[in-house]
A = this chain, B = another copy of it.
Amino acid sequence: MIVPGPDGPALIVCTTCRGPGRVDGGGAALAAALAALAALAALPGTGVAIAPMACLWSCERGASVQLRAPGKIGYVMGGFAPADAPDLLAFAQAYAASADGEVPYREWPKGVLGRFLARTPPAGGLVA
């Protein structure tokens, strides 16, 4: 069921991921996901909505997130631990400030390297 969500720049954070290593115990994983979420939401002035959502179907690469904004290239990312939250948010801020969602590689924080599972072209468009 589709429900209303943010229509501007948003970082969708999976709340049911078990985290790197697929650690047993949903509770521990949930705690880790919530800790990451709290770390993200606590930082002010991001210009990016933090939107929790249950299961993004990227369970093999948890904890996973998706970055999106109208008319921009979106990203599916995974393998995050709570400690990556600041770097992830820094990337999201650079993304929100970009024209089309492309952030120059030299500006990528270390914590997002190797974390991309897909880039998703915006509605009505493709990436050339």
Further contacts, 8 of them, CB under 8 A, given A3-B128, A4-B126, A57-B117: A2-B100, A2-B125, A5-B124, A6-B124, A53-B121, A57-B118, A68-B120, A76-B76
Count the copies: 2
Which residues from chain A sit less than 8 Å from chain B, CB to CB? 1-7, 12, 51, 53-58, 64, 66, 68, 70-76, 100, 116-128
Q: Which of chain B's residues have a CB closer than 8 A to the CB of A125?
A: 2-5
In the complex, how many angstroms separate the beta carbon of A104 from the nearest chain B beta carbon?
14
Contact of A119 with B57 at beta-carbon distance under 8 Å, contacts A5-B125, A125-B4, A125-B5 already known? yes
**A87 to B80 Cα, complex, angstroms:** 32
Q: Which of chain B's residues have a CB closer than 8 A to the CB of A116?
A: 57
Name which of A7, A66, A100, A118 has the most chain B CB atoms within 10 A of its CB: A118
